[in-house]
Structures are given as structure tokens and as C-alpha cells.
Structure 1
């Protein structure tokens, strides 16, 4: 089985829908706790204006994925959903549950009903539940097709099945400015548990009772969109200047809040601040889990234009490279800060020479 070979004359709608159909028999992870990035990266390629690259990417990526998407075995309903959260054995059931909800009501209604229920578990799958949901929402907002509705069901289902909480209440309930609170985030200094599975490292934050107090003691910024820019900016700077051995973690510290931004326009206004607070908690959690202090950047990094970065990201074949370039370009367009192009350039270089593994 090979992916459809689309040419530049084909529409981005068709390229993405073909990719989603091609990946439909694959599970949400390609290893225990390591997420399947195929649908997210395919959507990001379309957002980057490169739909012609989608077919080759998914064709190369699919062989590493588990086949046979999970099937339901029990029934989850409005009376039984809460104890089913965080149970990966019920992934097929969660997918079926959201598939049924999306058949009953418009996708924005389902999203608005379930977003606040899933928000406390935003760290699910290292943030990939919300990231996959964010990409699906942007795709649906562009064109509502059966494949994109199904992708939203899978994003929400994965989020629910991998539901994970970290200390804190996801509320801006204090007086410290965001940047001051960021400087006070406590760290797990031991290297034990550092690996590709975010869930294991984030679980250890229960050993830092002060973490929850720090994130909760943050004052609410003036504007949700501007607050998200501050969060992604902090994540970008920490990628360069935190003493850490986990560049991958700090990539997701940016892409998760950037995914929350994709969803905000489709949520009721009363959910915006809770969403931003959850994004703040997650990005701070990555710093607490993987950052161990300040360092000078290894070398002065000169940024590259985003068109070239996109070409180089596609050439790596790595979905993180594609997603990170797209998120950085989007955040840069809003904030006009060169830090986004700098970190995207550094990540691409590390993907090319293998130095992202330290």
C-alpha cells in the first residue's frame, strides 16, 4: 500500500484527506507512549503551503507505525466517562465515543462540551492529545470532510485515553507576572527518567509540591492571545538557554501552547483563560521536568528564512521538524520576534546532524 501521489495541481483539501485515509489503520503511537505524528505533520505541511509534499511524507512515515487501529470493547457514555480517563486500554472505546458524539452534533458543539473536561489532562501523551486536536480543528475549520471529523474524534480519543495531570489548578490565581513565575519554576535535577516517554518524567513532578504553588501563583495577563505569545516565547528562549539534555521536550513546550491557540477561536470566550492557564502549566511542567539551570547557548545561531527551513524540514522526513517550523512561523508572524526563527533553525540543524540527542 502506498500513499496517493498528488501533484502540485491538486488541492490541499485532497492531499490532507488522502493522507488521513492512508493513515486510518494506524494507532496513535509508534511505540509505547511515543505518539504518531503523521496526521499532525501532514496538516502542518498543508498549512506551510506544501500539500505536494504530504504524500511522500506519509508514505515514508507509515511503515514505523503500529497497524490495526484499536477497536472498542466496552461502552463509554455520559455516566461512565470519568473513570475511563487515562485508561489507554480503552482507546478504541474513546474513539468510538467521540465518533458517536460528532455524528450527533456539530463538531464545534462537541469541542466546546469536551474541551473543559479534557483540559485538566492537557499533558496527555506529552501534550500530543491537545496538539493532535489542534491540528484537527484547524483542518476542520478550513474544510469539513468525513476524514477530518474522524481525525478530531481520534485526537480527542487519544487525549482522553492518555489523560494525565500534573500539580496545579490551571488557574491564574496569584500576583507574579508570567516571566517572574517562569524564573521560579522548580526543577527535577536528577537525570533518572529522562527519555522519549514524557509521561514518566512528568509523573515525577508529584515530587515537587512547590511546582503547583508556583504555576498557580501567576497573575492573569491582560489578553489570552498575548499570554500565549509570552508562553511560546519563554519556551523558545528556554530551548536555547536552559541547561538540559532534552531538546525534544522544549520543542513540545512551544508546540502545545501553539496548538491551544489554534483552538481558541472555536471555543466560547469563557473557556479561553482556562485554556491559556493549562498551556502555561504544561510549558512550565516541561521546564520543571527537563531544565536544570541556565547556560549560555552553545554557539550563536543565525536564523534561516522559513521557506528554506520548510524545505529542509521536509528533507529530514521528521514530523517534529515539520511541526516545529510551522508553529514557529505562525508564532513569529504574531509576535515578530526573531527567537522563533532562531530556534527553528537550530532544531533543523540538530535533526540533520543528529545532535538533537544529547
Structure 2
């Protein structure tokens, strides 16, 4: 059994959330540590992180099937049923078939759990693509189950329907004119977007980019730039504005081609939703950030023991390798510094 499979086994009885609706990042960060070349750090990380989690055995109350699955979406009380459903489907069919069948059904609810349903699914898919094991299949079931149980939509069609390019539309994303949920979990804040009547119209007014990979790179680059220069109150929101599209990229190559453009459009919709909910406007960075090399950033991320530090550095490095831009190392450096000195809550 590999280090990752041991970690997934150790964490498999933990719920997908802890505290006031905060997502369990343990499996995702463990997989990211392996990708960062730090498998020796996985055991200590999961051992410490497990102390924050609670043992969870969600009850079964409904048999989910083709007749009632839509009505069961977004009902966290049915988490046990969703987990059982996906475990059963993955036992019956190859994981890529199950993924391709359910991805378009879950895609409109990509904001589920602040995007952590799709992030957890993305890490599970990357692990399975490397090696298919029972532990990794189960992790995919738990990622899909969490996504379905926390399913949440935001305004917009999830399609590229307009005339403007992504950067131009990014500059037109409206600030959400309410403080409802500003200090709460993502789910509450994103729900408030339905109080912003022009958000959906603006976010849909994007012409289709030239290619999907390029579109995802533009989205993560915009998220990184906004992390530094947006007039926002929650750095954490802009961290997820990058890690969600980065996680989507992990899955894209395992999906049918006809699902690629809807996936890119819905990912754009989510990232724009984060900007509307937590930012927009312009401010200068507090001070210029001198980027640090990724090997140093990895060491510092591991030292923090924080899953967001680990996942963000891994995602930034990967996006930088995909489409080189110094902005990724800059934001990763700034986030690690904030994790170290406690200013990430600003």
C-alpha cells in the first residue's frame, strides 16, 4: 500500500466537513504532498490534521436512483445516501464511465462546498489516473458524494454566450451590494449573489476563447492578479478562485470532448462569483512581493502544516508549468507568508 493509500484509509471515516461547515482538506492535501515530492511529510500531516476531524458515519435514509437523484441534490442530510450511491456505481462500472456520466449532472452545482466538491474530486481523479486502488476509488466516491450533497448553483447559464473576452468581462464583474454572509462560509455568501440581479447577465457575456486549456490559464491568472490587487476582505476566497479551476484541469483530460467547453464556462462562472462575492475594485498591494522559488515554498508550506498552504503552492506551481507567468510564484509566496504570520485572515 502506498503512502497516499495509507493516508486515505486513515481519513476515510472522517466527515467531509468539520466545525461550522468547513471542508475536510485532509485527503486533498495528502495527495498534493505526494505530487510536491514530499511523501515523507504525509504521515505527520494526516496524523495532526486528523485530530481536528470527527469520526463520521452518516445515516442512510433514501435510496437514490435515476428517478429521484435531482431532488436529492444539495441535501446534506442525504450525504450517507450519496456516498453509498457512488460507491455502488463505482463498484459496478469503471471509474471513468461513472465520472463522465455524472460530471455534467453535477457541473451546474460546481460551487458546492465553496468548490471543495470538485477540488476533492479532482485530486481523487489524478490519483486514480496514476494508479487504481480501492482506496482511491473510494475517495472518488466520497468526493462525488460531497459534491452532490452540497450541490449549489450561482446565477448564470454556465455557457459562453457573449461578445467580450475573459479579462474584459472580469473587469465588469459587479461587486455584491450586501454584506450578507461576508464573514461566514462560502455557501452563505455565494447564495447572496441572487441579490445581485446583473451578475448572471454580465458573467454570461463572454465569447468562447480559442481553447479550453488556454481559458483555464486565463482564469487562474485573473484569480491570482485579483488576489493581490482586488479591494477584498477575504484572501481565502481568492485562493479558492485559483484552486478550483486548477482542480478542474486535473479532470478535463478524462472527460469526453463535448464536456470540455461547458466545464470551462462553469468554472469561469464560479471564479467570477468569488470575485463578485468577496472583491472587485482596485487597490495597490501593501508592498511589492518578491517571489521565492517553489522548492523553498514547498518546504515552508509543509512546515505550516496547513492544507491551504500545501494545496495553493501545488496548484500555483502546476499552473505556472502549464502557462508560465511570474504571478503564480508571487501569490504563492504572499500566501505562505500570510499563513506564517497570521495575516491571511485580513
Task: Settle same-fold status: TM greater than 0.5.
Answer: yes
For the pair 1:103 / 2:116, whether they are aligned, the reply is no
Rounded to whole Å, the distance in 2 between the matches of 1:297 and 1:178 is 23
Q: CA RMSD in A?
A: 0.9
Q: Find the partner of 1:136 among 119, 124, 130.
A: 124
Q: Which runs of 4+ in 1 moved over 6 A?
A: none
1:224-235 pair list within 5 angstroms: 224-235=212-223
1:8-87 pair list within 5 angstroms: 14-87=2-75
Question: Tell me, which stretches of 5 or more residues in structure 1 are unaligned?
Answer: 1-12
Question: Tell me, which stretches of 5 or more residues in structure 2 are unaligned?
Answer: none
What residue in structure 2 maps to residue 194 of structure 1?
182
Q: State the number of aligned residues.
A: 346
- Contact preservation (8 Å) 1:70, 1:91: yes
1:286-305 pair list within 5 angstroms: 286-305=274-293
Deviation string, structure 1 residues 295-337 (Cα, Å, up to 9, x no partner): 0011000000111101100110100000000000000011110
Rounded to whole Å, the distance in 1 between the matches of 2:41 and 2:49 is 12
Is the partner of 2:173 in helix, strand or coil?
A: coil
What residue in structure 2 maps to residue 9 of structure 1?
none
- Contact preservation (8 Å) 2:223, 2:241: yes
Deviation string, structure 1 residues 124-167 (Cα, Å, up to 9, x no partner): 00000000000000000000000000000000000000000000
For the pair 1:223 / 2:211, whether they are aligned, the reply is yes
Q: Find the partner of 2:322 among 330, 334, 339.
A: 334
- Deviation, structure 1 residue 196: 4.5
What residue in structure 2 maps to residue 7 of structure 1?
none
Q: Find the partner of 1:278 among 240, 248, 266.
A: 266
What residue in structure 1 maps to residue 241 of structure 2?
253
